[in-house]
C-alpha cells in the first residue's frame, strides 16, 4: 500500500493530483466518498486534476470532456472511462495498491516524458483541428533558435487548392476570324469547285454527298 494523500488536506469536490509509478491520478472527495481515477483525460491527455466539478461530473479543463467522478464513466460517451483504482483508508492516510497501478501502467504505457521541457503536457492525440499546437510548443520551447529569426517561411501566392481547376472551366467555341452574320443576312449555300478553273463547277447545294 502506498500513501497518496492526507485526507484532511482534500477539499470537497476539488480535484487533487497524485503521481504513482509515473501514472497520474486524480482524487475527488465528496463528503465520505473518495474516488481515485486515472488522472489523464482520454481526449488529449490533459491533467484531470486541473479540471473542475460540475454536478456529478469531473470536467476536463481543456475541451470540457466529462467523467462521473464516482465511477470515471463519461456521461456524454459511456465508452470513455477513466479507470477507477481501489482505495484504502488508514486514519488520515489515503492509500492505494501500488501493484494495481503497476499493472495499469504495463497495460497503458504512459507517453509523458516528464524530464523534458513540457514533456508532462504532451498532446496524446494531436488533431488537425488545431494545426498550430506543434508550432506554438516549438516556439515556447526553443524560441526562434531552430526556425530562424524570420520565423517559418512558405511559398507566396494563392493556395493552389483555392484556384479553379481545369475541369471547372468551360470553353465556349466561337468564330474568331470573321464576325458571325446576324440572322437576317442572306447566306449563299452555293459550292464552287475549282474557282480558278476555266469552267468552275458551281453547285447550289450546301452539302456534297460523296
Ligand atoms: S484534453 Fe480533455 S477534453 Fe480535450
The verdict on 102 and 117 lying in the same domain is no
pLDDT computed for residue 42 by the predictor: 94
The verdict on 36 and 89 lying in the same domain is yes
Give the number of domains in the chain. Answer: 2
**Residue 29 predicted with pLDDT over 70:** yes
More confident residue, 151 or 4: 4
Q: Tell me, in angstroms, the distance from the centre of ligand 1 to residue 66's CA.
A: 9
> Is residue 14 one of the residues assigned to a domain?
yes
Q: pLDDT-based confidence at 181, cuts 50/70/90?
A: confident
User: pTM for this one?
Assistant: 0.67
The verdict on 39 and 76 lying in the same domain is yes
Which ligand 1 atom is at minimum distance from the Cα of 41?
2
**Residue 185 predicted with pLDDT over 80:** yes
> Is residue 103 one of the residues assigned to a domain?
yes
Q: Tell me, in angstroms, the distance from the centre of ligand 1 to residue 128's CA.
A: 15
The verdict on 133 and 71 lying in the same domain is no
Query: What separation in angstroms does the CA of 36 have from each of 72, 99, 103, 105, 178?
Result: 9, 15, 16, 15, 87
- Give the residue, out of 15, 39, 40, 46, with the most ligand 1 atoms within 8 A of its beta carbon, to mutate for a pocket test: 46
**Where in the sequence is the domain holding 85, given as residue range(s)?**
2-107
> Is residue 138 one of the residues assigned to a domain?
yes
The verdict on 10 and 102 lying in the same domain is yes
The verdict on 62 and 138 lying in the same domain is no
The verdict on 71 and 129 lying in the same domain is no
Q: Which of 118, 107, 96, 100 is nearest to 47 (CA)?
A: 118
Which ligand 1 atom is at minimum distance from the Cα of 45?
1
Amino acid at each position: 500500500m502506498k500513501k497518496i494523500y492526507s485526507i484532511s488536506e482534500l477539499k470537497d469536490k476539488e480535484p487533487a493530483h497524485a503521481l504513482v509509478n509515473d501514472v497520474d491520478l486524480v482524487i475527488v472527495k465528496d463528503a465520505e466518498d473518495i474516488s481515485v481515477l486515472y488522472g489523464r483525460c482520454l481526449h488529449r491527455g490533459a491533467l484531470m486534476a486541473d479540471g473542475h466539478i460540475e454536478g456529478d461530473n469531473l470536467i476536463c479543463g481543456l475541451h470540457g470532456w466529462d467523467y462521473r467522478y464516482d465511477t470515471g464513466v463519461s456521461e456524454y460517451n459511456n465508452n470513455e472511462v477513466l479507470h477507477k483504482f481501489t482505495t484504502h483508508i488508514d486514519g488520515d492516510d489515503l492509500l492505494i495498491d501500488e501493484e494495481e497501478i503497476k499493472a495499469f501502467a504495463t497495460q497503458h504505457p504512459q507517453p509523458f516524458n516528464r524530464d523534458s521541457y513540457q514533456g508532462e503536457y504532451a498532446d496524446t492525440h494531436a488533431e488537425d483541428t488545431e494545426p498550430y499546437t506543434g508550432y506554438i510548443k516549438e516556439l515556447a520551447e526553443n524560441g526562434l533558435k531552430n526556425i530562424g529569426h524570420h520565423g517559418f517561411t512558405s511559398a507566396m501566392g494563392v493556395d493552389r487548392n483555392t484556384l479553379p481547376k481545369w475541369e471547372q472551366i468551360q470553353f465556349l467555341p466561337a468564330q474568331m476570324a470573321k464576325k458571325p452574320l446576324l440572322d437576317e443576312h442572306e447566306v449563299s449555300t452555293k459550292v464552287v469547285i475549282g474557282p480558278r478553273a476555266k469552267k468552275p463547277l458551281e453547285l447550289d447545294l450546301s452539302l456534297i454527298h460523296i
